[in-house]
Structure 1
Amino acid sequence: MSTPTLDGLNQARSNRAELPASNGPVLGDADFRFLREFVLQHCGIALGEHKRQLVQGRLLRRLRALGLTEFGSYCERLRSDPEGEMGDLASAISTNVTSFFREVHHYDFVADTLLPQWLQSKRDGGRLRLWSAGCSTGEEPYALAMVLAEVLEKHGSTLDTRILATDLSPQALAVAREGVYSLERMGGVSRERQRRWFLRGEGSFDGLARIHPRLRELVSIQPLNLLHDWPMQGPFDAIFCRNVVIYFDQPTKQKLFRRYAGMLVPGGYLFLGHSESMHGLSDDFELIGRTIYRKRGA
């Protein structure tokens, strides 16, 4: 039998799971240190010391789902199968807050400015490709699909149009694929759009509505970790990455913006969230509106 080292004893002490009757195991120093490094490396999310209680609270639910009684066991699971747990971990520590037509000025800009330009420039053929990067539960790409479908119909256009919607969270993607939402979550959708683009549930499905098949045809939903390889080739005419980079550290943001620039057509557009900025992080884009950026070199 080998003799435990001093480092091993110290780690065991710091990881010891105290079990208060109501709160469950405590996230020790060593496990929290590992989780911070793991999340930064694999998700690009920087967790400060002040996030410890939040991480502990959110991961407790994941431990229970896996039948684990301590955070050390969960860390071992991450070490042995990082990819298998990545989506659930990201879902637990991030906040999937979204809504239909959130930051409506972005959708107005697409409908009133970009789509007329695109229809004119692509009138002799071509295709239109948009990417919702960090689509969460699907409200963003489906709202974009509404705008695209309405404008294309208005102009009688048959332009080949698709929206790629990606996210790391398997739970969020499952909701997006299902395309079923409670009426309470549709506050940003006008009554006219609710009648046109949603199928109301009846009986046991009362209070729910399903996205119209026409919109589902426009949206392709796929899992993707923004920090890993991107299987799609592009190029895209516009990328929506709103309220995503707010979680990332500066080097990760810089790398991501460079990669976005490489995936956009010359003069393509990048939309960020209302509390996000590219200031001092990229020379590939110019600010042209409220968190609306255009790729240089058009």
Structure 2
Amino acid sequence: MTPTLTDKEFKSFSQMMFDMAGINLTEAKKPLVSGRLAKRLAQHALDSYGDYFKLIQADKGERQMALDLLTTNETYFFREPKHFEFLAHTVAPAMRTQSPLRVWCGASSTGEEPYTIAMTLAESLGHMRFDILASDISSRVLQTAQQALYPMEDAENIPRALRAKYCLKGVGSQQGRFMIDKPIRERVRFESINLCAPLPDLGSFDIIFLRNVMIYFTMETKRQVVARLLPLLRPGGYFFISHSESLHGVTDQLQLVKPSIYFKRQE
């Protein structure tokens, strides 16, 4: 029988997530925390979530496992498709002289979003060089992303022409799955990055995608994260957030051009 997650134990995990990743777990997330960590309690034959919390305080590897489990979010190919239409028809044509075009996908999860960006740009730019940095705080999802191997049903949102061109259908032992083709995989580099900590030397970018991550941040954390990223966005560059998010009250350095799409003015 799975132990009950007490309010005190939930507060301990919530504080840990805020300290490590800037994620604000509200009371509504209590069942999620309980459900996602239950298997780890069983794995270690622990009687309470408090005992598991003591374990992750002492074991760095298990702490990373808990972080991975609690930060994995829903994602899929061509999510919020209007962003990719704008990328293909407005951003890419305007940046054809920029080589290499550099994109940062700051919450890449299991890879669907950066591979979607790569397919979109490959179609729009042809042989023009572009590079995509895809980052996430979870090492577990990055491993999945690097494999670029997905269940066949996940291809349903990929336009048929792109699916035929950039996806390889599995046969034999891989039947029922597909892999992103090598020319697209080679455009994407994955790296573990905590957006709530000082950033490594990443260089500058023409486009930054930061979608479906700020919904978990407090307003102050949003301000800090965006302030950390904006110096890396070149003047004339674009900043994408999800339709469920807003930069109202977060920054005045970006100009809204479309819902959830912002432009960094030329200096």
- Which range, TM-score by smaller chain? over 0.9
Asked if the contact 1:129/1:163 (under 8 Å) is kept, the reply is yes
Are 1:91 and 2:68 counterparts?
yes
Structure 1 residues 164-216: Cα deviation after superposition (integer angstroms, max 9, x where no partner):
01112222112111101111011111221111101111122111111100001
Q: Which runs of 5+ in 1 are unaligned?
A: 1-21
Letter in 2 for 1:90: L
The yes-or-no answer on 1:26 pairing with 2:4 is yes
Match of residue 216 from structure 2: 247
The aligned counterpart of 2:115 is 142
The question of whether the paired residues in 2 share the 8 Å contact of 1:238 and 1:269 is answered with yes
Task: Look up the SS of the partner of 1:102 in the other structure.
Answer: coil
Q: Which residue of 2 aligns with 1:187?
A: 156
Q: How far is 1:33 from its partner? A: 2.1
In the alignment, what sits opposite 1:19?
none
Q: What is the CA–CA distance in structure 2 between the aligned matches of 1:149 and 1:104, rounded to whole Å?
A: 16
Identity %, equivalent residues: 39
Q: Give secondary structure in 2 for the equivalent of 1:199.
A: strand
Which runs of structure 1 show a deviation greater than 4 angstroms over 4 or more consecutive aligned residues?
A: none
- The 5-angstrom pairing of residues 61-100 of structure 1 reads 61-81=39-59, 84-100=61-77
Give 1:64 shift.
2.5
The Cα shift of 1:268 comes to 1.6
1:55 aligns with 2:33: yes
| Aligned residue type for 1:84 | G
One-letter amino acid of the structure 2 residue matched with residue 137 of structure 1: T
- Say whether 1:40 aligns with 2:28: no
User: Offset of 1:297 from its aligned partner?
Assistant: 4.1
Letter in 2 for 1:184: E
Q: Based on CA coordinates, which of the two structures has the bigger radius of gyration? A: 1
Q: Summarize deviations over 1:250-278 as a string: whole Å, max 9, x none.
A: 11101011111111111221101110000
Q: How many equivalent residue pairs?
A: 267
Residue of structure 1 equivalent to 2:173: 204
Is 1:118 aligned with 2:95?
A: yes
In the superposition, the TM-score normalised over structure 2's length comes to 0.93
Question: Who is 1:258 aligned against?
Answer: 227
Q: Which moved more, 1:211-220 or 1:65-74?
A: 65-74
Structure 1 length as normaliser, TM-score? 0.84
**Conservation of the 8 A alpha-carbon contact between 2:207 and 2:233:** yes
Helix, strand or coil: the match of 2:234? Answer: strand
Displacement of 1:132 = 0.8
Choose the corresponding residue for 1:108, options 73, 85, 110.
Answer: 85
Pick from 113, 116, 125: which aligns with 1:152? 125
Instruction: Say if 2:135 is the partner of 1:166.
Output: yes
- SS at structure 2 position matched to 1:57: helix
Q: Which amino acid aligns with 1:71?
A: Y
Change (3 A) 1:85 1:265: farther
Query: Aligned-residue CA RMSD in angstroms?
Result: 1.8
Deviations along 1:38-93, one digit per CA (max 9) or x if unpaired, are 11111111122333233222211232234433222222233234x53454323323
Residues 199 and 43 of structure 1: CA distance in aligned 2, closer, same or farther (over 3 Å): same
Aligned 8 A contact 2:14 2:25 in 1: yes
CA contact (8 A) 2:105 2:209 kept: yes
How many angstroms apart in 2 are the aligned matches of 1:50 and 1:208?
34
Query: 2:193: which partner in 1?
Result: 224
Aligned partners of 1:220, 1:287: CA distance in 2, in Å?
28
**Structure 1 counterpart of 2:192, which letter?**
P
**1:234-263 CA deviation, whole Å, 9 max, x = no partner?**
201111111111111111101011111111
